[in-house]
Structure 1
Amino acid sequence: MSDDARYADGRERPLDLGALDTEDLKVISALVQDAVFPATEMRWERRRRRFALLVNRFRWEDRPAAEARARPYERTRALLIVENVERVSSLGIDRDDPDTVLSLLALDYDGPPEGPGTLTFVLAGDGAIRLAVEALEVRLRDVTRPYAAPSGKAPDHGA
């Protein structure tokens, strides 16, 4: 059995970004826009006060290069991790249905960066995940090599 390809085997480097304030969070929010994930890929580690998602994110940072070279758009698997989580709630999500696939539209933070505050994962279809956090601390880390987006298209929200 051969090992899976690692992102680091390619020319580009995987993203590994952190956000401790709202300006940094805007960058991460833009990079995870249109990320998709099954409801089963959400984890709240209550004792560690950590919430994590394993998402398939569209590589917005690669879109201009893909269009310039007429090559497929790409996605990659990424971990989106939030620290200092005190409480998790959701709206419009059936977490017991393994076939439920959610689409992340944005990350929105309400409160001072030093906390406490509320981090909301805004989902397509009026769904949301709300995290009560002691302080804002978010990390986005790519964990696989990019792959061709199955749809062959860039996400489009219409004009």
Structure 2
Amino acid sequence: MDRLKLMALDEEDLSVVSAYLQDAVFKVGDMSWKGQGGVLTVELNRFVWEAGDKRRDRNKDWERLRTVLAVKRATGVKSRGFDRSKPDEVLSLLAVRFQAGDEEPAGTLELVLSGEASILLDVECIEVQLTDVSGSWGTDFKPRHPLT
């Protein structure tokens, strides 16, 4: 399987990145904020939705792999619904959204997490990069969500 390297510069691009990141998991300690450079980096284990029947590990039903999400041109970051002082707490990413501000292209980029948690970034514009950094490994579990 080829490793992904995606760049989002508008809301349409961001929806593609969001789809690939749905149900990715990471620990609080896997986040890094560089305020001076305006970059939030998150190392995640993403579910390989695109593998389908082309998975490498035929003994497992599904796959995950390590990927890095970089949100650039951020001027501030806030979090809610989890304790940043607990580096081993595991978070599950559901979606990445953008809300335009009063002065476009600036706005708020939201990493929507399970349990009503989120990470909110004030950004000058959408500039998001997703890069796979490892091969995949098998997992027995496919994420499921209750229908509402």
* TM over 0.5, shorter chain: yes
Find the aligned partners of 1:63 and 1:126 in 2 and give their Cα distance.
29
- % identical aligned pairs: 42
Q: Partner residue of 1:7?
A: none
- Which structure 2 segments of 5+ residues have no match? none
- CA shift at 1:70, angstroms? 7.6
Secondary structure at the aligned position of 2:134 is classed as: coil
Correspondences of 1:81-120 after superposition (within 5 Å): 81-111=70-100, 115-120=105-110
The one-letter code matched in structure 1 to 2:105 is: G
Residue of structure 1 in register with 2:7 after alignment: 18
Give the match for residue 45 of structure 1: 34
Residues 90-99 or 123-132, more deviating: 90-99
Give the distance between the partners of 2:33 and 2:88, measured in 1 at CA. Answer: 20
CA RMSD in angstroms comes to: 1.8
Question: How far apart, CA to CA, are the structure 2 residues paired with 1:89 and 1:63?
Answer: 35
CA shift, 1:154, in A, is: 1.1
Aligned residues: 144
SS of alignment partner, residue 115 of structure 1: coil
Residue 141 (structure 1) aligned with residue 131 (structure 2): yes
Q: 1:57 is paired with a residue of what secondary structure?
A: strand
2-structure distance, mates of 1:52, 1:71: 30
- Cα 1:133–1:99 change in 2 (3 A) is same
What are the superposed Cα offsets for residues 19-39 of structure 1, whole Å, 9 maximum, x if unpaired?
001111001001000000000
Give the alignment partner of residue 124 of structure 1, picking from 89, 114, 123: 114
The residue type paired with residue 61 of structure 2 is: P
Q: Which residue of 2 aligns with 1:5?
A: none
Distance in 2 of aligned mates of 1:111 and 1:98: 31
Classify the secondary structure of the residue corresponding to 1:146.
Answer: strand
Partner of 1:35: 24
User: Aligned partners of 2:13, 2:59: CA distance in 1, in Å?
Assistant: 31
Normalized against structure 2, the TM-score is what? 0.91
Task: Judge which range, 33-42 or 95-104, deviates more.
Answer: 95-104
Q: Distance in 2 between matches of 1:71 and 1:107?
A: 28
1:76 to 53, 57, 65: 65
Partner of 2:142: 154
- TM-score normalised according to structure 1 size: 0.85
Whole-angstrom CA distance in 2 between matches of 1:75 and 1:119: 25
Runs of 4+ in 1 over 6 A off after TM superposition: none
Partner of 1:55: 44
SS in 2 for 1:145: strand
> Runs of 5+ in structure 1 lacking a partner?
1-11
Give the aligned residue type for 1:142: D
